[in-house]
Amino acid sequence: MGLEPHERMLCPSRHFFMAIEKIIGTETEYGITTKNDVEFDAISHSMLLVNSYQPDPTVKIIWDYDQENPLVDARGFKVERKIEAPREKDNAAINKVLNNGARYYVDHAHPEFSTPECSNARDLVKYEKAGEWIVNVSRMQANQLIPAGEEILIYKNNSDRKGNSYGYHENYLMDRKTPFELIVTHLTPFLISRQIFTGAGKVGFENDSDPVDYQISQRADFFETEIGLDTMVKRPIINTRDEPHADREKYRRLHVIVGDSNMSEVTTYLKVGTTALVLKMIEDKFIDKDLTLRNPVKAMRDISHDITCKKKIQLDNGKKFTAIQIQKEYLELVKKYVSQQEKNPITEDILARWERVLTKLEEEPDQLNREIDWVIKKYLITNYMKSRGCNWTDSKVLMMDLQYHDVRPEKGLYYLLQKQGGVERILTDEEILEAVENPPIDTRAYFRGSCLRKYKSEIFGVSWSALSFSVDEVSIKRVLMSEPAKGSKAHVQELLERSATAKELLKNLAA
């Protein structure tokens, strides 16, 4: 199932545009706790949560770990460390692959939702929001199975305030020919400065960081090095995991771990939309400015701790820029880059929103109290403090900080604001519910999701890049999906319609 050759476009400026389209996906680790349970166990409750969503005891599909190797480093080596895949019984208990092409599973001590592959930022937001809906539905189902008086609570945030940070990871399909050093050089300043519009907001500080009442990002205090393979200790700003989930000869999956988990649709949209555009520029070697930072780890924290967005950061070339100025440099480059290509309505919208947000941040960040998470949360909390005469250390303020991320529509502060029309949206509830049940139509997620819906009892194993079918009592046949943009509705709808069974599908694929 191969992707057609990338089109090459020669523009009037004589610049060859060869960047591949950015297939995008995100992984969200959710915070979990149980009210009134003194013996709370995060792993068992996470397993209960995942298995409470549309349980079907007749279906035993495993996650195919053979297609994964998280110890290969993009810098050209492999870490010698043994990782054992779960036994088949445990595998089925901690993994659920959904009809919309997503994966819902237990990762360490957290429930995690991975979106299906999406071809654009708007679809990504839609499927990430579908994930929130799925997690909350499974929470309600799981609560019916635990003792009376107890209640499982789920938060889409990044810290338990006990020194532990859990992740939100973005994944972008990239051309393997792009030197990894080039990605590091040009992406690092962008990721560090983009938190001024991607941060989820946080009361206080952690991880031996400098004291602050309120900061922009929930994750910034936890990054301790510039580049590396780890995601849980000595967290790097640029992660070097080389696990493409696609044709290794052609593709790289860039694993971005510095982002916050966002509630705002607009914030998520800008986060992945702007990053995808910058990555396309990097692939096309279009960036001709040196924005290298003198001390990236320090800059990460300094920017997060400055809610005025006016602090200047030292660049390697001796200049000092604010995070807004750095972002404006990238914005101007992207505007020039896309002006030489065919217009795309989502790209145009992202550019307009990006420019508007940077302008408002420069004027007065509070103007973004309907769009950007850290500003929305700050607006809520400061209004509360004014009305109650309390300060940032008040226990109710800390509770509001957490309650903003509660996935319960009737309790979460973000969802209550949304219900009142207090936040800007880019989606409708109907679009999100449609994404709960159906995969994107223009990536390989369509083939995965459609097969799960039609041939579920005949599927043995699933990974991002393969499906394994049980065609009889002894044989397993694996269908490789090494091209993330193929397997779309346009590619496979007719094939699926004329294949009543998995055996017929395999026969027709081989024909």
Q: Judge whether 115 lies within some domain.
A: yes
pLDDT band at 57 (very low <50, low <70, confident <90, very high): confident
Per the domain annotation, does 4 fall within a domain?
no
Q: Is 107 a catalytic residue?
A: yes
Average pLDDT over residues 383-387: 97
**Residue 49 belongs to some domain of the structure:** yes
* Options 73, 107, 175, 394, the catalytic residue: 107
pLDDT at 12 over 60: no
427 falls within a domain: yes
Residue 218 sits in a domain whose CATH number is 3.30.590
Whether residue 497 sits in one domain with residue 453? yes
Question: Average pLDDT, whole number, for the chain?
Answer: 93
Contact 340, 245 (CB under 8 A): no
301 near 220, Cβ under 8 Å? Answer: yes
Which residues sit opposite 413 in a β-bridge?
none
Same domain, 415 and 484: no
In a domain, 16, yes or no: no
d(CA 209, CA 204) in angstroms, rounded, equals: 10
Complete DSSP assignment for 147-181: -TT-EEEEE-SSB-SSS-B--EEEEEEEETTS-HH
Q: Residue 85: what pLDDT?
A: 73
DSSP class of residue 25 equals: E
Instruction: Indicate the burial class of 162 (C-beta count within 10 angstroms; 0-12, 13-18, 19 or more).
Output: exposed
Tens digit of pLDDT for each residue in 188-241? 999 999 999 999 999 999 988 999 999 999 999 999 999 998 766 689 999 999
Same domain, 469 and 413: no
Residues 293 and 359 in one domain: yes
What value does the mean pLDDT take over residues 62-69? 83
Same-domain check for residues 467 and 415: no
* Model pTM above 0.85: yes
Q: What is the pLDDT of residue 8?
A: 34
Same domain, 183 and 224: yes
Distance CA 287, CA 33 (A): 45
Q: What residues pair up with 314 in beta bridges, in sequence order? A: 320
Same domain assignment for residues 452 and 306 = no
- Does residue 341 sit in the same domain as residue 425? yes
Q: Give the number of domains in the chain.
A: 2
Please state, in angstroms and rounded to a whole number, the distance separating the CA atoms of residues 192 and 173.
21
Q: Is residue 6 part of a domain?
A: no
Among 382, 407, 433, the domain boundary falls at 433
- 355 plus 265 within the same structural domain: yes
Q: What is the pLDDT of residues 83-142, one digit of tens each?
A: 667 888 889 889 999 999 999 999 989 999 999 999 999 999 999 999 999 999 999 999
Give kind and range of the element (H or E) at residue 331: helix 323-339
Residue 88 forms part of a structural domain: yes
Domain that holds residue 487: 441-510
Chosen domain end from 371, 402, 433:
433
Beta strands 223-228 and 235-239, pairing class: parallel
- Per-residue pLDDT band at 82 (split at 50, 70, 90): low
Q: Is residue 17 part of a domain?
A: no
| Cα–Cα dist 298/27, whole Å | 26
Q: Which residue blocks in 174-322 are alpha helix, DSSP H?
A: 180-198, 265-283, 296-304
Domain boundary residue among 433, 457, 472?
A: 433
Residues 54 and 175 in one domain: yes
Q: Sorting pLDDT into bands at 50, 70 and 90, what band is 475?
A: confident
End-to-end Cα distance, the chain: 13
Tell me what pLDDT residue 234 has: 83
Same domain, 234 and 382: yes
**What is the per-residue pLDDT across 320-340, written as a single tens digit (0 to 9) for each?**
999 999 999 999 999 999 999
Residue-level pLDDT at 13: 44
Residues 148 and 181 in one domain: yes
